[in-house]
Amino acid sequence: MPRVLTGLPANHAAPTLALPLLLLLPLLVWTPLPVSARRSAGTDYLRRGWLRLLAEGEGCAPCRPEECAAPRGCLAGRVRDACGCCWECANLEGQLCDLDPSANFYGRCGEQLECRLDAGGDLSRGEVPEPLCACRSQRPLCGSDGRTYAQICRLQEAARARPDANLTVVHPGPCESEPQIVSPPHNIWNVTGQDVIFGCEVFAYPMASIQWRKDGLDIQLPGDDPHISVQFRGGPQKFEVTGWLQIQALRPSDEGTYRCLARNALGQVEASATLTVLTLDQLNATGFSQLQSMNLVPEEEAESEDDYY
């Protein structure tokens, strides 16, 4: 795939043709584009694409490496430009790329990445699959920073973003560590008679077990309480387990602090959330807006970091 290796005559173009063509660019950039650029650095990404296209049309001038601008901060590494002369930043995972290796509009994918049609879109709703850089490997790795990376491309991206950290692969598979609570339970309020659910999403390797407890009670829930139930399921991500605590037909005595405890051989972590139970009288007296200002309304779930799971 890399044209770099095909021994093109050492040619280069960008600097020599830059001036006349830059004058044309504003016109070109405003023409409607066939595809949207995902994860791109906005117009800069497309500008580079148009420059490449124009460079190709012009043919390549003799390569003068000393005139090449040194690309910096290339998170996916560097590749040779369309003329096989200067280095430029390779495209990252998730960025658009050219399926046809002889085309060079969107640019080349970096090391360990390949250009593939993205089957992730909703094809039934008329979405057109886009060619995106995808990692050749989907195997998780443990980095020397003690973090688990979904695959080698994520680790390399992180390593290039922080060169001083000397990030390397320690071993394949996730890092063994105490559990991490990816999504903790949130504070909840509701009125008597309603049902509430707390959730707790945990990443761990080796896998964790989850327990629910209520402060002040010396038992593991649900105990023998028929209006409380707990449920566990693997996922939603690999090496995760999610637990739910459901309390049906709330009573005032259910109010309190509930704790999700996640444990494996390496340690234990916990996260807690409060349950506030209001009677209808209290609700009428308090008013909804006041409750909102007390921050008892559950917040939107935070997005989980996707390079770390």
Beta carbon nearer to ligand NAG, 61 or 283: 283
The reply to whether 249 sits near ligand NAG by the rule CB under 6 A is: no
- Interface stretch with ligand NAG, choices 12-20, 24-32, 168-176, 278-286 (CB under 6 A): 278-286
Tokens of residue 9, six digits: 């005559």
Binding of ligand NAG at residue 164 (CB under 6 A)? yes
Beta bridge partners of 79: 88
Q: How far is CA 199 from CA 132, 248, 261, in A?
A: 34, 15, 12
Pick one of 18, 29, 128, 165: the residue that binds ligand NAG (CB under 6 A): 165
Stretch near ligand NAG under the rule CB under 6 A, chosen from 44-52, 68-76, 162-170, 229-237: 162-170
The gap between the terminal CA atoms of the chain, to the nearest Å, is 32
Q: CB 212: neighbour CB atoms within 10 A?
A: 21
Return d(Cα 132, Cα 93) in angstroms, integer: 7
Please pick, from the candidates 11, 177, 190, 229, the single residue that binds ligand NAG as defined by CB under 6 A.
190
- Residue 195 binding ligand NAG, by CB under 6 A: yes
Identified binder of ligand NAG from the candidate list 171, 281, 287, 293, rule CB under 6 A: 281
Residue nearer to ligand NAG on the CB measure, 134 or 188? 188
- Whichever of 265 and 280 has its CB closer to ligand NAG, that residue is 280
Radius of gyration, alpha carbons of the chain: 27
Kindly determine how many residues on this chain lie close enough to bind ligand NAG according to the rule CB under 6 A: 10
Of 195, 189, 148, 206, the closest CA to residue 276 belongs to 189
Strands 148-149, 177-183: parallel, antiparallel or unpaired by DSSP?
unpaired
Q: Output the six-digit token pair for 208.
A: 């964790």
Q: What residue ranges bind ligand NAG (CB under 6 A)? A: 164-166, 189-190, 194-195, 280-281, 284
